[in-house]
Chains A and B, each alone.
Chain A
Amino acid sequence: MEKFDIVATARTPHMSFDPATGIFVLEGESYPEDTKKFYDAPLSNVYAFLETDVTSTAVFSFKLKYFNSSSAKILMDLFVAVEESAQRGNSFKIEWHYAADDDNMQELGEEFAEELDKAEFAMVAF
Chain B
Amino acid sequence: MSDSFLEKEQEILVECEKLLEDAPELIATEAYRKLTADYARMLKNLSRLIRISDRNERRLQTVSEELEVEKKKLEGVADQLAKYLPRQIYESIFSGSQSIEIKTKRKLLTVFFSDIQGFTHISSVIQPEILTHYINAYFSEMSDIAAKYGGTIDKYIGDAMMVFFGDPDSRGPKEDALACVRMAYEMQQRLSDLHIQWEREGLQHPFITRIGINTGYCNVGNFGSHSRMAYTILGGEVNLAARIESKCEPGGVLISHETYAQVKEYVEVVECDLLELKGIPLPVKTYSVVKVSDTHRSHKSELRLNLAGLDKMVIKPDGLSMPERLSLVARLRDMANTLEGIKSHD
Contacts and interface: CB of A to CB of B under 8 A. Distances in A.
B284 to A, nearest CB: 60
A62 B45 CA distance: 19
Interface stretch (A2-10, A13-21, A73-81, A91-99): A73-81
Nearest to B59: A104
Contacts, number: 35
B5 A72 contact: no
A80 B41 contact: yes
A36 B2 contact: yes
A35 B1 contact: yes
A111 B48 contact: yes
Interface stretch (B49-57, B202-210, B273-281, B326-334): B49-57
B1 A70 contact: yes
Nearest to B44: A115
B5 A73 contact: yes
B64 to A, nearest CB: 14
A80 B55 CA distance: 22
Contacts of B2: 36
A108 B48 CA distance: 9
Contact of A77 (B8, B52, B59): B8
Interface in B50-80: 51-53, 55-56, 59
Contacts of B95: none
Contacts of A72: 48-49, 52
Contacts of B51: 111
**Size bin of chain A's contact surface:** 10 to 19
A85 B49 CA distance: 23
Contacts of A35: 1, 5
Contacts of A77: 8
A106 to B, nearest CB: 12
A73 B55 CA distance: 15
B301 interface: no
**Size bin of chain B's contact surface:** 10 to 19
A72 B49 CA distance: 7
B56 A68 contact: yes
Nearest to A114: B44
Contacts of A80: 41
B120 interface: no
Contacts of B41: 80
B4 interface: yes
A104 B58 CA distance: 10
A68 B6 CA distance: 16
A104 B1 CA distance: 24
A69 B52 CA distance: 6
A77 B6 CA distance: 10
B49 A73 contact: yes
Contact of B5 (A68, A70, A107, A108): A70
A73 B53 contact: no
Contacts of B55: 104, 107-108
Nearest to A31: B56
A56 B302 CA distance: 110
B45 A73 contact: yes
A65 to B, nearest CB: 11
Interface in B1-37: 1-2, 4-6, 8
A41 B56 CA distance: 26
A68 B52 CA distance: 8
Given A36-B5, A68-B56, 9 more contacts: A36-B4, A69-B49, A72-B49, A73-B5, A76-B48, A76-B49, A104-B55, A111-B48, A111-B51
Interface of A: 35-36, 66, 68-70, 72-73, 76-77, 80, 104, 107-108, 111, 115
15 contacts: A35-B1, A36-B5, A69-B49, A69-B53, A69-B56, A72-B48, A72-B49, A72-B52, A73-B6, A73-B49, A76-B45, A76-B48, A76-B49, A77-B8, A107-B55
Q: Which 4 A-B pairs have the closest CB atoms?
A: A72-B52, A69-B53, A36-B5, A76-B45
